Structure 1
Amino acid sequence: MIKRKLALVVTIVMILGGCSDSTETTTQAPDTTAPSTTTSSTPAVTTTVADVTTTQASTTTSGDPVTDGYPVTITHGTGEVTLESRPEAIVSISPTATEILFALGAGNQVAAVDSISNFPADAPVTELNAFAPSVEAIAAFEPDLVVMSFDPGDIESGLNALGIPVIVQFSALSLDDAYAQIEALGAASGHVEAAAEIVDEMGRTIDELNAELGRIGSNFSYYHELDDTYFSVTSSTFIGEIYSVVGLQNIADPADAEGFGFPQLSPEFILEADPDLIFLADTKCCGQTAQTLAERPGWDQLSAVQNGNVIELDDDIASRWGPRVIDFLGAIVAALEALGE
């Protein structure tokens, strides 16, 4: 239960951190009623790590979905759901799930996504509220599967009452959680092999970078800024684990006595720690840049500022736990390599 509550809080923090103004065209839901379906949802023990069981083995090539691997049962953040057939009208109320589905090759199975699912560019963005969607608005798209990153109320139970299956995937607490969610969506959408290939490629890249740079990074410290009120992350979080791949030392770790993972630091604490690298994950949400950071009282004296080691991240990439984690890691690696030049 504690892990589930933590995952819920982390999910909300990550979504808020990754929010940005979107100028993409949105799509209105069709004026239809919710359909009936033979898909059933059965409550089960809560876990953030997805398990998958199928009635028969199936294989496919990347981007080529299967239809004979059903029914399939997925264990997700709030229980279990059984899909009797491959979903063809998925609604995603999760920017991360949207990215994963398209990376799997399931984009043509996605009927609608929420208003902040801004990647990839061809995702069918709608006016569905990512923070407080309504059952009626979601059901209007006649989905045969809904994926959410958290349940802001009684959305899951409301959709289940209409016969619409739901998968809830809270924010990943580790790389293993992220891998499990990719595999779960692969199984749910009929792209099992594509999911395995993505997870394998991510794992291999991360292992190679760890072997190459792990010891080098241990010589340097960093500060990851979630917003302009100095909330940060510790090494125990999913984001912190990405930095640990290359061995970087997190200045926020000593400030998290309660082990929450997202401490709010003080300017004085950061100035005293004087990190070698500063990563801004609030460039979109809060308009922060290397320049605005340098204008804060006393911050122009920080080593990272004077040496040009303030890295402006893409909030979305730095806050989502899908395949673009490798892009986030790439930005970290580039910053670390620049230190050695």
Structure 2
Amino acid sequence: MTHTQIIDHGLFQGQMLKEARLETAGLSLSLLNFGAVTRDLRYIASGADRPLILGYQNPADYLENPAYMGVIAGRLAGRTKGARFELDGKIIALDVNEGKNHLHGGGQGLSHVFWDLDLLDAATAQLTYTSPDGENGYPGAAKFTVTVRLEDNAVTYDMQAEVDQKTPISLAQHNYYNLAGGADTIWGHRLQMDADRVLMLDGTNVPSGDIESVAGGRFDFGAERSLLENDPSRLGMDHNLCFAIGRGNSMSVATVTAPDGLRMRVFSDQPGAQVYTAGGMAAQAGGLPGQQLGPFQGICIEPQGFPNAVNCPNFPDVLATPDRPYRQILRLEFDQT
């Protein structure tokens, strides 16, 4: 990436696949208009040029993208039990796309549609998409706007939705982070999280409604530890950790550090984050130069509302209304320790 620009990659499904490229003194980033994908994010401070996320070399590969690399997931990120929920006395049936459940907004969720993509300035791009009433089963129309901004060594995702009737919205930015470039697995990365509880899962990996303390277990990242130290059996994680109640949004909710000290701090206004260590990612060719794509090659930290909140009354609600639009701000800061 040499300068800010939008590049056309050809027609697919009757629409032009476009890529916006942004750059500051510390970071470079590229976005696709399909799936609102962050295709590439690089640390370029002090002459370095290091990939920070996993990605495909061929932009057209994101038209399939079974691992949801780099997408904005929604309308509801995560899994919804039985692909249904009740809203004001009416059963809402959603698209079934993982077993009997609904995952990441459905087969044609926000991660698998074309958005409008515009450059606002040299370091800012904006993606917009209007989801019609009934898309993937969701009630009401929703206009989504995602503004991505680079500032020195930080990137901010400002995710918003305006709706015309009550409907659930909970988005997640789905990068797979590997701060060492992506050639090796993430077991040597260290993780610290301001999270004191974990959502318990049923037999289909959907939150059951039960919440337990992480104290002393393999989901306890209160003190920084390597992923291997916390999970010596390499079971992997695909769990939603709940941020400590009463924390301030100015405090980081998670810190990921590469073996050589490159660090990412995550700031979020959401109640928790799904942490996924990519145990289910299929080994495949086609990654960015020097990267391996496969199990445990990246870690996703996805701030969001609690998955399956529409079926768990004890979870914070994820309902947006015309008078209460949706907004989430995610900020990532990078430095060398």
TM-score, with structure 2 as normaliser: 0.27
What TM-score do you get using the length of structure 1 for normalisation? 0.27
Whichever of the two has the greater Rg, that structure is 1
Whose helix proportion is higher, 1 or 2? 1
